[in-house]
Structures are given as structure tokens and as C-alpha cells.
Structure 1
């Protein structure tokens, strides 16, 4: 099993592997639902243009493992996360519990 720090590094590397120009920031917004996730990944070019990046299964696996490591009890639940990265290597990770999202997933899974 990976460590939290190695997962953060792998998320950053996943994004950096797709950028082939100067950039000023990149981000991953994720809605996580145990066995599935939805990603919004992008970077900002030096010209200020937002460009899409690919999420894909490798990114899902990283967030699944991160979810397993960080939700070891009910007090640490999250179903939304935001990872942001600057060219300097500075990054930020935010976790959030969205009850409306959880209720919607529950409702759709019961239909």
C-alpha cells in the first residue's frame, strides 16, 4: 500500500506528464463514489488559457487508495476533493463531505 505522500506525488506526476508547455497552475476536482469517480482536471497555460487534462483509470486508482487511507473512520468521510499544484511544486489538497451528493448517489443506486 502506498503512503499518502507517495499518492500526492503520483497525482502530481500524472498531471505533469500531460503538460508540454509552461504553465502557472493545475488542478484536479473529483467527486468520489467508492467504486466510481468523476474528474475535472486542467491546467492554466502561461497565456492564461485553461486546458483540459485526462483523468482516467490511473488517476481513479490513486484517489481510491487515497480514500481508503484517509477515511479510516466516520469522522474523516469525504466524497469531494480538490488537488491543486503550482510550478514550484507547492500543492494543496482539500477534502469535503457533500451530503447532497451522497443523497443523490443513494437515490440513484436505489432506482
Structure 2
């Protein structure tokens, strides 16, 4: 699975109105949990929350875990921000947050 393509497809299927930019924030502890927070900016500059159906979230979680695992030796991360612009340009930034990881491990 290709997380970048899956996110793009999920956005296209679940966004409404004339949008300019979408941001999806991901927090994930490898194979344990994963959450998504998405919002988009309309042409009017209004910001709206973007929700994905449960089945879409399940597929996205699998792809997040696959990407995390494939990057583990080079770049460990538990936070990511995916940005997609209307013109098709996208970016994904990755970050390691030790305090967040410690919180998850303590339960």
C-alpha cells in the first residue's frame, strides 16, 4: 500500500466544496495505535474538519504502519503531517516525539 496515494484518494472522495489545501496530522505508535486529524481550507479561506469513513481509516492505519516499519532503520517517527494542495502538490513531514511515546508506553 502507498500511504501517499491512499491519503490523496481518501481526501478526494471525502472532501466537499472548492478547496485549496488539506492537512492531515497523524500520530502513530508502530502497530499499536494510530489517529488522524484532518482539515481543509476552502477557496473562501474557511477551514473545515475532514472526516474519513471507518473502513478508510482502517486501510490508512495499515499503510501508516507499513510506512513506519519500512522507515524504521533510517528514520523513526510517531508524528507526521501530510499536506495536499489543489494543484496536486503534496508534502509529508515526519517527527519523533519521545514524550508522546513515553505517554503511550505508560498506558
Q: What's the secondary structure of 2:14's corresponding residue?
A: coil
Contact 1:29 1:83 in 2 (8 A): yes
Over 6 Å off, 4+ runs: none
Relative contact order, higher structure (CA 8 A, sep 6+): 2
User: 1 CA distance for matches of 2:84 and 2:36?
Assistant: 16
Q: Does 1:14 align with 2:10?
A: yes
Q: Does 1:64 align with 2:60?
A: no
Size of the alignment, in residue pairs? 102
TM-score (norm 1): 0.83
* Root mean square deviation of aligned Cα: 1.4
Shift of residue 23, structure 1, vs aligned partner? 0.5
Once structures 1 and 2 are overlaid, which stretch shifts more, 88-97 or 61-70?
Answer: 61-70
Contact 2:79 2:97 in 1 (8 A): yes
Once structures 1 and 2 are overlaid, which stretch shifts more, 76-85 or 48-57?
Answer: 48-57
Unaligned stretches of 5+ residues in structure 1: none
